[in-house]
């Protein structure tokens, strides 16, 4: 997964810095945190992940995997062919079948890449329903079920999107970049597999993971907690099979997987949750729910006055609200593309970190 493009460094350097990194003895960033131990409760659906090669310099099949039931195809590619191309998501079945397309979400194409990652993250979080599209599949035929742009992909631009599906029988779904042609079906029929690059980020993985803390956190007696996602050895990344070559691969970063993380608490003290990137710039969205009303958070909020959260510091954070102990909260998180991992959700009893770093 590409992080923000190195050529965009001047864009970040020119931004006004958020001065929330000033030291403070009572800052939430100066507290001592215990890593919250987590366990996966169950997984749902199938993710076909297509991020290999990241820079596509030839046309062909980029990823393919089998889905039965609910599934997701997540693609993330830069058109590096030097000319316009077409990107399609296709379906194929050994027998006549129906594929139900339930959501199709696209990022804003960009050359700085971070724009694409943040726009897809936010759109995925808030786009709940779309009119379903039913596609009839002929036996053995690759059938286009979604296309990035009929006008073609511009050279040097990043394109990313999510297609969600539902099938009653096993159906192969794949991603292909094709030449600009009026005979799209012919190009798709003739397409050959593009070899993997050194990152090897493609394959089939869980689409959704349900996770919870192993031990109930007591806000009266326990230390502040840190929930780590996307690295730092907290939980191993998911592994899956690349059906194009049969190789087992790691989804480093768990990209394309939606995590629904349930945090159990007890005690009399309310607490606050803070979002703290630990790998660099993080531009994306997440959702927290307690009871029935969800709250949505964006790390690209304009209140940061042009500063990119996590740029050249480990001490940036956003306040994700006050929560009541004794009632579980659920964090929904899908790692944004083109940004850096890992990230932390910090859980602090309200009186433990009362003095905040002010902008």
CB 180 within 8 A of CB 82: no
pLDDT band at 194 (very low <50, low <70, confident <90, very high): very high
pLDDT of amino acid 226: 97
pLDDT of amino acid 231: 82
The secondary element (H helix, E strand) that includes residue 14 is helix 9-14
pLDDT of amino acid 73: 98
CB 92 within 8 A of CB 143: yes
Task: Please tell me whether residue 206 adopts helix, strand or coil conformation.
Answer: strand
For the stretch 50-95, pLDDT in tens is 999 999 999 999 999 999 999 999 999 999 999 999 999 999 999 9
The domains of the chain are located at 6-43+207-349, 45-199
For the stretch 282-340, pLDDT in tens is 999 999 999 998 999 999 764 455 778 998 999 999 999 999 999 999 999 999 999 89
Question: How far is the first Cα of the chain from the last one, in angstroms, to the nearest whole number?
Answer: 31
pTM for the model stands at: 0.90
pLDDT of amino acid 355: 45
Mean pLDDT of the 184-206 span: 96
Distance CA 77, CA 120 (A): 13
Mean pLDDT of the 198-206 span: 95
Q: For residue 150, count CB atoms less than 10 angstroms from its CB and return exposed for 0-12, middle for 13-18, buried for 19 or more.
A: exposed
Hey, which bits of 265-312 come out as E strands? 265-266, 271-277, 285-290, 293-298
């Amino acid at each position: 997964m590409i992080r923000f493009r190195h050529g965009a460094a001047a864009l970040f350097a020119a931004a006004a810095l958020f001065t929330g990194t000033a030291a403070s003895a009572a800052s939430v960033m100066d507290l001592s945190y215990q890593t919250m131990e987590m366990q996966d409760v169950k997984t749902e659906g199938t993710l076909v992940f297509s991020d290999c090669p990241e820079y596509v310099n030839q046309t062909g099949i980029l990823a393919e995997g089998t889905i039965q039931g609910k599934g997701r195809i997540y693609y993330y590619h830069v058109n590096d062919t030097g000319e316009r191309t077409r990107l399609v998501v296709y379906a194929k079945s050994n027998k006549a079948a129906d594929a139900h397309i339930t959501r199709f979400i696209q990022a804003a194409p960009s050359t700085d890449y971070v724009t694409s990652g943040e726009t897809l993250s936010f759109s995925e979080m808030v786009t709940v329903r779309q009119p379903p599209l039913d596609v009839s599949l002929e036996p053995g035929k690759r059938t286009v079920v979604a296309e990035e742009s009929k006008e073609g992909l511009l050279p040097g631009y990043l394109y990313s999107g999510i297609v969600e599906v539902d099938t009653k029988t096993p159906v192969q779904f794949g991603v292909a970049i094709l030449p600009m042609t009026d005979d799209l079906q012919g190009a798709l029929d003739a397409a050959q597999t593009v070899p993997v690059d050194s990152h090897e980020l493609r394959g089939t993985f869980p689409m959704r993971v349900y996770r919870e803390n192993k031990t109930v956190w007591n806000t009266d007696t326990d230390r502040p907690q840190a929930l780590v996602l996307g690295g730092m050895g907290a939980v191993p990344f998911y592994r899956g099979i690349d059906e194009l070559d049969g190789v087992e691969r790691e989804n480093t970063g768990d990209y394309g997987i939606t995590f629904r993380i349930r945090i159990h608490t007890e005690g009399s003290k309310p607490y606050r949750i803070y979002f703290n990137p630990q790998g660099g710039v993080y531009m994306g969205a997440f959702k927290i729910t307690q009871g029935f009303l969800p709250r949505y958070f964006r790390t690209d909020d304009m209140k940061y006055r042009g500063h990119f959260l996590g740029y050249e510091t480990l001490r940036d954070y956003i306040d994700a609200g006050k929560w009541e102990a004794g009632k579980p909260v659920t964090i929904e998180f899908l790692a944004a593309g083109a940004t850096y991992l890992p990230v932390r959700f910090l859980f602090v009893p309200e009186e433990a970190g009362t003095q905040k770093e002010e902008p």
